[in-house]
Amino acid sequence: MMQGITIDYSSGVHFTLVLLPELVLSVCAMLVLLVDVFQKGSRSEPSASWIGWLTLGGIVLAGVANWLLLGMHEPATTGMMAIDAFRVYSNYLFLLAAALFVLIADRYITQENIRLGELYVLMMLATVGMMIFAGSRDLMVIFIGLEMTSVPVYVLTGVNRRDRRAAEGALKYFLLGAFSSAFFLFGVALIYGGTGSTNLPQIAAAVGVEGTGANMFSLVGMAMLVVGFGFKIAAVPFHMWTPDAYEGAPSPITGFMAAAVKAAAFAAFIRVFLTAFPGLYEDWSSLIFWLAVLTMVAANLIALVENNVKRMLAYSSIAHAGYLLVALSAASNAGAAAFLFYLVVYTLMTLGAFALVASVGRKGEEHLDIEAYSGIAWQRPFIGVVMTIFLLSLAGFPFTGGFIGKFYILGAAVERGLVTLAVVLVLSSLVSYWYYLRVAWYMWFRDPSPAATRDGVIEVPAPMRVALVIAVIGVVLLGILPGRMLDISQKSAATLIAPETPGVGMTR
């Protein structure tokens, strides 16, 4: 690892070093695209299966480059890209999700006859966008990262062009995504008009530690940013695109959207508001409070009546956005650490659950109704055990990562005095037990459905099995031995929040 490199942003070489993980992954994406083109005999020929392994190699190289950031430091927090542990942590989270996606998606794209190298390239470029989105200190660069993330994901949502649901979901996602981007960009313009800068630390200095420098432009612009982020994280009432887009997209891509894309939006959300607007905590915390309450309550109640497991998991992901908003509302080192810890757990259990949805759905994803899960646990014990662990963790049962994550979020909320939010989180989690345990009950205590029996054996190929084992081990270990990951989360959060800042910082 590089030691003692002090970054000088006037140097092109140093600026390249700051962007090293993003550049490595971008170059690898171009390499995958070129290799895919030249290895085909014709345009209609499917991509070779080893293209996925080449993609995985590029992700590993980007992870090595990301590690090198730990050996760099900057004399002042003036650069557009942050060099801090929060960025490194976030990048590894996105790269983990990308690697799991490669392992999970191989079987699906072969089964659906959409073996396209472009699919991996789009995923890698979307990951580059996420890394810029979450790692930038400038609102304009954050917007660029937002669009670099969104545009490839719009295409990925509708990549199965023979599926009308995919086309419908992609169109809705694109239209509402463009709408939310307009809100975000308008908010950036207003904040620039009110503070004279788009740099997060400079905005914080203009606003002041007590918010005395705020004006109507900056306040309205901040509210517009909340709306823009609200769409990206699928918070209620900005969630309208989510169920249809998640249902229409291929299941592995849905898992990638629900885990990695949402994690990137949340990471950028917390960076912007805890870095640029600590002095306005009393103003934006009330917005986050009501977003969290609406999201937790509405999403869990709607999920109760869903029989389509994929849509149920879509509403579940919305509910989990509400839980993460509680951590953001706490606006403390404890809240940020709980937030980062929960993002890891959420990524593992969400990608794993959607991978199993893809397996049960089989060709055409026709078996999405809960009846298709009847008796699966006895036919395929591996699927039954793994899916049950993911469901228990999503619900927040003890000895799972989901339980520990919610416990730390609750602790941060209570320490901050947000008792009402803590109570709503507990009650909404109890409501979620019904629809999670309902799926588990169908798997273990119902006879196999005739349709599922007639359509043959559910296949879980070796790469997907490896991804599922990694996810399960992570969820269980984080539920039993969370200490190490929590320490890493706390150190990463400490680089984001200044303890001396009034209103935001160390919990009281």
How many whole angstroms separate alpha carbon 3 and alpha carbon 403?
38
**CA atoms of 66 and 205, how far apart (whole Å):** 29
The residue type of 92 is Y
> Quick one: which H or E segment has residue 5?
strand 5-6
57 in any annotated domain: yes
- Strand locations in 296-341 (E): none
Read off the tokens for 26: 């971008």
Phi, psi torsion values for 7, nearest 5 degrees:
-80, 130
Round to whole Å and give the CA distance between 243 and 241. Answer: 6
Domains identified in the chain, total number: 1
d(CA 24, CA 36): 18
Contact assessment for residue 235 and residue 329, using Cβ atoms and an 8 Å cutoff: no
Q: Report if residue 503 sits inside a domain.
A: no
In a domain, 269, yes or no: yes
pLDDT by residue for the chain (508 residues), tens only, comes to: 445 677 776 767 777 888 899 999 999 999 999 988 887 766 666 677 788 889 999 999 999 999 988 888 777 666 788 888 899 999 999 999 999 999 998 877 777 777 677 889 999 999 999 999 999 999 999 999 999 999 999 999 888 777 788 888 888 889 888 888 999 999 999 999 999 899 998 998 888 877 777 789 999 999 999 999 999 998 988 888 888 888 888 888 999 999 999 999 999 999 999 988 988 888 888 899 999 999 999 999 999 988 888 889 999 999 999 999 999 998 888 888 999 999 999 999 999 999 888 888 766 666 678 888 888 888 888 999 999 999 999 999 999 999 999 999 999 999 988 999 999 999 999 999 999 999 999 999 988 766 555 455 677 888 889 999 999 999 999 999 998 999 999 988 888 765 444 455 443 3
**Is 256 a member of any domain?**
yes
Strand partners, 199: 138
Give the range of the structural domain holding residue 335, as residue numbers without chain letter.
5-494
Q: Is residue 499 part of a domain?
A: no
Q: Is residue 49 domain-resident?
A: yes
Q: Is 78 within a domain?
A: yes
In a domain, 508, yes or no: no
